[in-house]
Chain A
Amino acid sequence: MKKLSARRRHPLAALVVLLIALVASGGLYAAFAPAEKAAADETAQSLAIDEGKKLYAVGCASCHGPSAQGTSDGPPLVGVGAAAVDFQVGTGRMPAQQPGAQVPRKKVIYTQAQIDQLAAFVASLGAGPSVPTEEQYDPTGADLGKGGELFRTNCGQCHAASGKGGALSEGKYAPTLEDVSPKHIYEAMQTGPQNMPSFPDTVMTEKNKKDIIAYLHAVNSDDTVEPGGLNLGGLGPVSEGLFGWVFGLGALIAVAVWVAARTAKAKKS
């Protein structure tokens, strides 16, 4: 102590004190500030969960149960993940209009912010797939050919080779994939909504999913070039044959009747 007080008038004493003060304040800031930020994040998260819980109680609980444990009218939502909520509510399927073979896509009634809050609440109930980031589903630079092959192997059996959809058993159906956003396609593959099986990253990688999204965009969007002209719904030979028989042959018969009905005689009878 004596030594310290003896040197308190040393020319460098002020500098040393200043350094100590700086390190101390910096250290204290480093120790406390991030904790505050994390606390703030946590507050925002728990706020979203709280808001989501309120929305859930109003819009979802009647079928999925007050604690999302599921009822006879709706499956449990524990562990389905935020991606499932973002898909089901983001495409308007949920909340469901009425029970039935399959819940159809319809007008979205929640805002994206509300959907995020609902997703946060459901994600807090149990671990599940999270909402993909744009980087995960952006199809730029993906392999179209591989995407087509993967689509025909995994998806085409139900959704038809160009994603136009098709019938399943007892009133269920695979919906058309036209105008479905890349994010929702990704989430559907990830979570397996309703009767669709899921294709998790462990068996179908993120790159595989990107390739499939790119293929769907190439065959199924407004910019798609149809070399053959009218695709008549893209359902294959049945619709094409029906069109040929009804409209093609019908037009020929109508022309033949018209030609024969008009007399060429000068005196009309």
Chain B
Amino acid sequence: MSSQENPEENLPAQHGTAHGAVSVADEKHPFADPGLPPHEHRVQDIDERAAKRSERTVALLFTVSMLATVGFIASYVTIDIDQSAYIWPIGHISALNFALGCTLGLALFCIGAGAVHWARTLMSDEELVDERHPIEAPPEVKTKVMADFAQGAKESALGRRKLIRTTMFGALALFPLSGVVLLRDLGPLPGTVLRHTGWRKGKLLVNMNTNEPLRASDVTVGSLTFAKPEGLEEHDHDFQTQIAKDALMIIRIQPDDIKDKRELEWSHEGIVAYSKICTHVGCPISLYEQQTHHALCPCHQSTFDLADGARVIFGPAGHALPQLRIGVNDEGYLEALGDFEEPVGPAFWERG
């Protein structure tokens, strides 16, 4: 920038052509050390006015940072959290978030830019040579450490008093067992919880949308409905634990299109109830394609054919989706005819 104002004759004379340790090649060191290239000066090193200008630039950056911090605090205090602003090209966004982000970003950026400019233009940039030290300790330190250790071992009499040594090892070896015992308190064993759900014979299927029991006539071919067992309410303290196992997908397929004999038998006139929990790692799976009857899991793309016993046709799932056997009670409502025959959700060690 200012190089044109300072012709090269203004530069101080160079001290030789190279500096630092310079050596020539000999038998022990086959490569010559060329040393460092001659030091070159910056405009700020030669021209005091340029140095002043750099100083003012750095000070300006730091001042802008201070103002931005004040702006951050001011926006935090004055802007209402619900206020929105139109910022092109982002659109309608929260005015508070926008102001906080801009001021905080500016404050941090100016500190960084000021520090970089300061270091590059004003701090000394003379190249220095600092020789590496050997990593190994000096021989006298090594001898002293070894002697101290031998004396300590002798004074502790660990080698001579075998009883102490043996009991000490015993105590140290047994101590971690207390921690192992504490692990028992991590929780009760699951028992058979994973094998059962909230479905029982005679429990009505309740529509998740309306919280009303589903009638067989409500479910049309090609539709998708989600159901929970009667009696399970969203405000129950264990709702999430229960629905994680009980959630159902209710679909209706033309009975002629159902390929699996057991599926047809367990359905009611083509109304099929499948567990909504993927058998891979338990994601809720309900990306149902009504023409192909495929259900896709969004987590790892396991695909189940709901017209063929929900067998796995793609992806990492290891089991078909469990089907709930359903029927219709005297009043025309859909009801469960028992619990799932197999555990719902992902496989576990003892599932078999």
A→B interface (CB under 8 Å): 150, 153-154, 157-158, 166, 168-169, 172, 174, 192, 194-200, 202-205, 208, 222-230, 259, 264-269
Question: Known: A226-B92, A229-B90. Contact between A266 and B223, CB under 8 A?
Answer: no
- The answer to whether B290 and A192 have CB atoms under 8 Å apart is yes
Question: Known: A169-B296, A225-B94. Contact between A204 and B287, CB under 8 A?
Answer: no
Please name 22 pairs of A and B residues whose Cβ atoms are closer than 8 Å in the assembled complex, sorted by A: A153-B208, A168-B296, A169-B292, A192-B222, A195-B289, A195-B290, A197-B290, A198-B222, A198-B224, A199-B223, A200-B220, A200-B223, A202-B215, A223-B92, A225-B94, A227-B93, A227-B94, A229-B97, A264-B42, A266-B2, A266-B42, A267-B3
Q: What is the distance, in angstroms, from B260's C-beta to the closest C-beta of chain A? A: 20
Q: Check: B337 CB closer than 8 A to any chain A CB.
A: no
Question: Known: A169-B303, A264-B42, A265-B40. Contact between A229 and B93, CB under 8 A?
Answer: yes
Question: Known: A169-B303, A204-B209, A225-B93. Contact between A194 and B298, CB under 8 A?
Answer: no
Chain B residues near A202 (CB-CB < 8 A): 215, 217-220
> Size class of B's contact patch?
35 or more
Q: Check: B98 CB closer than 8 A to any chain A CB.
A: yes
Q: Looking at the complex, which one of A172, A192, A224, A266 makes contact with B43 (CB distance below 8 Å)?
A: A266
- The answer to whether B6 and A266 have CB atoms under 8 Å apart is yes
Which residue on chain A has the smallest CB distance to residue B303?
A169
Q: Is the interface of B mostly helix, strand, loop or mixed?
A: mixed
Q: Check: B11 CB closer than 8 A to any chain A CB.
A: yes
A sample of 15 more A-B contacts (CB under 8 A), given A195-B292, A197-B289, is A153-B208, A153-B226, A169-B294, A192-B222, A192-B290, A197-B288, A203-B209, A203-B214, A204-B209, A204-B225, A225-B92, A264-B42, A264-B43, A264-B44, A266-B45
Q: Check: B56 CB closer than 8 A to any chain A CB.
A: no
Which residue on chain A has the smallest CB distance to residue B225?
A203
- The answer to whether A197 and B224 have CB atoms under 8 Å apart is yes
A172 to B303, CA, bound (A): 13
A229 to B120, CA, bound (A): 36
Question: Known: A157-B298, A203-B225. Contact between A266 and B41, CB under 8 A?
Answer: yes
